[in-house]
Amino acid sequence: MGYFAGMPSVEQIKAEVLREIRQDPRLKGSNIGVNVRDATVTLTGAVASAAEVSAAVEAANRAESLFYLVNHLIVAKHEFRSPPSHQLRA
């Protein structure tokens, strides 16, 4: 058990949140970290879109053992590469 009678352990909370994230088809292939300290779950990592951030938050919130959620996910910026100068038009 966790810190208080009836409270799930850190490991149980993390496992449940990870399960919900892995089961969400919108998050296939994502690399989302889940850290748990006391009763707070923190999501970390980079995802491809704001929609994936929302999906991850929704998935984590489905975990029954979740007490507090902190979202530190970021949307990965796609690297912009300008064409070589010989391909630029005046």
pLDDT digits (tens, 9 = 90+) for 34-62: 999 988 999 999 999 999 999 999 999 99
pTM of whole model > 0.95? no
Could you tell me if residue 26 is inside a domain? yes
Could you tell me if residue 17 is inside a domain? yes
Could you tell me if residue 31 is inside a domain? yes
Rounded distance, CA 49 to CA 75, Å? 5
pLDDT number for residue 86: 53
When pLDDT is averaged across residues 9-15 and rounded to a whole number, the result is 94
**Percent of the chain topping pLDDT 70:** 80
Identify the residue whose tokens are 């590469």: 81
Residue 15 has pLDDT above 60, yes or no: yes
Could you tell me if residue 84 is inside a domain? no
Angle between helices 10-23 and 50-61 (to 10 degrees): 130
How many distinct structural domains can be found in the chain?
A: 1
Q: Print the domain residue range for 24.
A: 10-76
- Contact between residue 68 and residue 43 where contact means Cβ atoms under 8 Å apart: no
Could you tell me if residue 20 is inside a domain? yes
Q: What is the DSSP letter of 26?
A: G
Q: Mean of the per-residue pLDDT values for the chain?
A: 86
Could you tell me if residue 18 is inside a domain? yes
Virtual torsion, Cα 54, 56, 61, 62, nearest 10 deg = 120
CATH (domain of 28): 3.30.1340.30
Could you tell me if residue 1 is inside a domain? no
